[in-house]
Chain A
């Protein structure tokens, strides 16, 4: 019962915060609602018994990406201009609602092969053996490391003063 209440509260908070991100005129407040949305998604991960991912979500999204976005807002004088929309508001609104309808229809009418096993908890040790153990994803981990290195070098090269 507590899980259902937590899910509904977190879902309402996440959707309200996401709507605030795309509707608020003040870009800085939109960034703060984005942080609220990230926190609500971390809570959703907890209700899915993904404890490690909830911690990662808070560390990386709230701790790193949100700070980066706020820094970019402050360095580009976006707050003075506000968050404006282009000429495509009505067609995009219709397509987004259509997409939501079609996706929901497809998801509700598919018979998912749901397994009623209790979830693995805690997940950290299991995830570690999945990532680094035998028959794991170690190659993907190394590719991700190279991707992050390339990202660091690329970001430094792009923003460097000539």
Chain B
């Protein structure tokens, strides 16, 4: 059985689901950010797989993946900066205890 687009899409869905589980259940903000990176990687796999199997010569999916990586890097940088700022003022990054804006 040769490799097809579906193999990569199912792998991408599996990684995305694992990241979704981590992002919604973890209490540590750093682990939540790690799970979000997992989900972004899963979407990158799907984009590159579409690029390889549907537009193999145009490479549009790979161009989108480059921008997706840029946005992921920006998101990780600002996210970790916010985590550091919260840790400095509240001595914890437990998301169940950071409830200042919860009504």
Binding site for B on A (CB under 8 A): 3-4, 7, 11, 14-15, 18-19, 21-22, 27, 30-31, 34, 37-38, 41, 44-45, 47-50, 52-53, 56-57, 60-61, 64-65, 68-69, 71-73, 75-76, 78, 81, 83-86, 88-89, 92-93, 95-97, 99-100, 103-104, 107-108, 112-115, 117-120, 123, 126-127, 130-131, 137, 140, 144, 147-148, 150-152, 154-155, 158-159
Contacts and interface: CB of A to CB of B under 8 A. Distances in A.
B8 A48 contact: yes
B56 to A, nearest CB: 5
Nearest to B69: A60
A103 B16 contact: yes
Interface of B: 1-11, 13-22, 24-28, 30-31, 33-35, 37-38, 41, 44-45, 48-49, 51-60, 62-63, 65-67, 69-74, 76-78, 80-85, 87, 93-96
A34 B37 contact: yes
Contacts, number: 236
B14 A65 contact: no
A38 to B, nearest CB: 7
Given A22-B21, A78-B30, A155-B80, 9 more contacts: A27-B30, A41-B41, A45-B45, A76-B83, A96-B21, A97-B17, A117-B57, A148-B73, A151-B78
B99 to A, nearest CB: 12
A130 B63 contact: yes
A29 B26 CA distance: 15
A14 B14 CA distance: 10
B41 A61 contact: yes
B4 A60 contact: no
A54 B22 CA distance: 25
Contacts of A88: 24-25
6 contacts: A31-B34, A60-B69, A72-B84, A89-B25, A103-B16, A151-B74
A103 B18 contact: no
B38 A104 contact: no
A19 B44 CA distance: 18
Given A48-B52, A88-B25, A131-B66, A41 B76 contact: no
Given A37-B38, A120-B59, A27 B48 contact: no
